[in-house]
């Protein structure tokens, strides 16, 4: 498996205004064309945080633990539509109450994303997608802190965790 390099994303400015379209391949080739993504941090009522395990075939950050849900906004979608689609696709969750935590620009060597961050508390069943993820589990705060900076998590997750929950 691999990601569809021809999939189209909106090209945006730092305020989220759509300027055009960009393919996944172009967005991730080092061109640093800004494109929007959604993140959802899923906590249970015990305060544990669900993390997904990224599969080896992913083109960005393979084999690392990451935010419960992270996905691109597709061309023609708004942030809320993308968030609900990604949560359903990645975790099988359809009933949740997302709280917006804001947005920021994330830049790596290969890409530049406008990240819309959300959180929710969810105690129902989580069914990680077998086609998109390599499983997932809830982590305690101490487990997360003990593994920070050791290459276990994606740099994006670590930065976001410090920024919003540190």
Task: Identify the pLDDT of residue 3.
Answer: 64
- Is the residue at 3 inside a domain? no
Q: Quick one: pLDDT at residue 2?
A: 54
Number of domain units in the chain = 1
Around Cβ 66, how many Cβ atoms within 10 Å? 23
- In a domain? residue 1: no
Consecutive 10-residue averages of pLDDT for the chain (166 residues)? 77 96 94 97 98 89 94 96 96 97 92 97 95 94 98 94 94
DSSP calls for 7-67: -EEEEE-TT--EEEEEEHHHHTTT---EEEEEEEEEE-TTS-EEEEEPPTT-SSSTT-EEE
Look at residue 14 and tell me if it is in a domain. Answer: yes
Q: What pLDDT shows up at residue 120?
A: 98
Q: What's the pLDDT at 156?
A: 87
Q: What is the CATH number of the domain that holds 92?
A: 3.90.79.10
Residue 50 lies in a domain: yes
Note the pTM of the prediction, 2 decimals. 0.92
Q: Which domain holds residue 105?
A: 8-165
């Amino acid at each position: 498996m691999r990601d569809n390099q021809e999939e189209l994303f909106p090209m945006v400015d730092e305020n989220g205004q759509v300027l055009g379209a960009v393919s996944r391949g172009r967005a991730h080739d080092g061109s640093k064309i800004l494109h929007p993504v959604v993140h959802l941090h899923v906590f249970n009522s015990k305060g544990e945080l669900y993390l997904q395990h990224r599969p080896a075939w992913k083109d960005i950050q393979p084999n690392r633990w990451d935010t419960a849900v992270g996905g691109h906004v597709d061309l023609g979608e708004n942030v809320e539509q993308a968030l609900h689609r990604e949560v359903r696709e990645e975790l099988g969750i359809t009933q949740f109450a997302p709280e917006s935590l804001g947005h920021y620009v994330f830049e790596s060597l290969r890409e530049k994303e406008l990240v819309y961050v959300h959180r929710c508390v969810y105690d129902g069943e989580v069914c990680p997608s077998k086609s998109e993820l390599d499983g997932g589990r809830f982590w305690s705060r101490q487990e997360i802190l003990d593994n920070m900076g050791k290459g276990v998590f994606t740099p994006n997750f670590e930065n976001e965790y410090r920024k919003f929950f540190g």
